[in-house]
Every structure is written in C-alpha cells, then in structure tokens.
Amino acid sequence: MGGEGDEDEEAEEAPGGESKTSFRTNLKYDPPQLKDLLDGSMSFWVHHAQYILPQGRTSWWNPNPMPDVGDEEMDEEMGEEEEDQGDKQKIERVEPETGPPLLTPLSEDATMEGIPPWSVRSSSNIIENFAIAVIRSNLWPGAYCFSTQGKMFQNVYLGFGLKYLPQNYSPLPLPPVQQEYPSGPEIMEIMDPTGAEEEQWRIDHLPKPKPVLPEGEEAEPEEAEGEEEEDDDED
C-alpha cells in the first residue's frame, strides 16, 4: 500500500495484456498531506504489491500444462499411455487466475456485507505536525499500514492468518459429564467435629456398667440356676 503519488509512477505492462506486475519509481513524487491520507474514501492509498490469487500465489501456476503442438515425442508418449489404459484421457484446460493491476486504489476494494474493507485514523489529533496516518484492514484483522506525512510507508501484520467472517464458527457444546456414583452424605464434605464434641460422643458410646446388687437381695432366677449347676459339677 502506498500514497496517491505512487499512481504517478509508470507501471510496466506485462506481455500478452496481463496485469501490471512491476513499476518504476517516480522521481517527481509529491507526498500527499495528512488530511488527504485520512480521507475515508481511501482514494489516496493504492496497492503497491501484487494481488494474492485464490491459488495462494502472486503468480499463477498452471496445474495442467498443455503439451506443445509441435512436440512429437510428447504426442507419442501420450498415445502409448492411451493405448495401454484403453481409454482416451483429456487434459482439462484451466482458466488462469488474474487479479487487479498494481497501483489500484483502495477505494475499489470490495466491501464485506456493508462493512468497508479499510479503516483509517490519525495517531494524534493534538500534534498534527508529527502525527502519522494509520489504516487497518477489516478483511484481514491484524494488517496495518502507516505513513509519516506521506514520506514513508510501512506495512505490519499482527494476526493469526485468518480472514474476517461475519458469522464466527461456534463448536457444539460438550455433553454433560457422566456421574460415576450417586452423591450422598458418605462422599460429601462436612465440617470436622471439635474436641468437645468428640469427647461427648466417646462418653455417650461407653459400655454401660453392670448394676451392683445391695446386700440381702438375690440374683435373678436365671443367674441362680446357673450357680446351682456349677455347684453340682463341683460335687
């Protein structure tokens, strides 16, 4: 990207009527003013690098090259392959991909569902003599270009290599976690008892002592019979 003065540079046209792929520096370049670079129409900014084709390259590569008409060896090899396979293969002709020529104004870039492809702002509205113009790409988030009063242009990209999408991809939520066992008091966390509560629990669960019979009272009949049986055994 560059200023409008770059449009005065003479672009060299490629042979065969293809897009312009190179240009020559204009020694009489007059840098535009800051107010012109901040114009929202983006007519003072141009593309100074080649367009990236849908193929992912700046220069188109033919995946199915056509053989030369006068190449007899190529014709013989193709004839042998066709005879071996038993059917005639046809080489599909691929239309070459083309892009806009160099020094195309940014105002001609396509919009994205009503969203402008570029946004422009100034680095400072107080000290305009030292302010720089910054444009941001809305198609490629993270792509910036800045100009120092039209004298120097630099590009920087801080992104993830992803284009802007009006509708972001949202993956499906994960299913709920399966419960391995039912929740109950045995596995629930509770407050630990205090020392006084533990001592009271120990006292409450002590074995009860046997009752002491007063003098002159006899034991229960079951105990008396048991004592008589023991006496008989001793005799």
Q: Per-residue pLDDT tens for 4-37?
A: 544 445 555 554 445 566 778 888 888 888 888 9
Q: Any residues with CB less than 8 A from the CB of 149 and at least 6 apart, and which?
A: 31, 33, 34, 132
At 74, the pLDDT band (50, 70, 90 cuts) reads: low
For 57-76, letters b (16+ CB in 10 Å) and e give eeebeeeeeeeeeeeeeeee
pLDDT above 90 (res 210): no
Q: How far is residue 159's CA from residue 140's CA, in Å, rounded to a whole number?
A: 8
Reference 11, options 27, 25, 22, 26; nearest CA is 22
Q: Per-residue pLDDT tens for 96-115?
A: 888 888 888 998 988 888 88
Whether the model clears a pTM of 0.75, i.e. scores above it, the answer is no
Q: Which of 105-114, 184-193, 207-216 has the lowest mean pLDDT?
A: 207-216
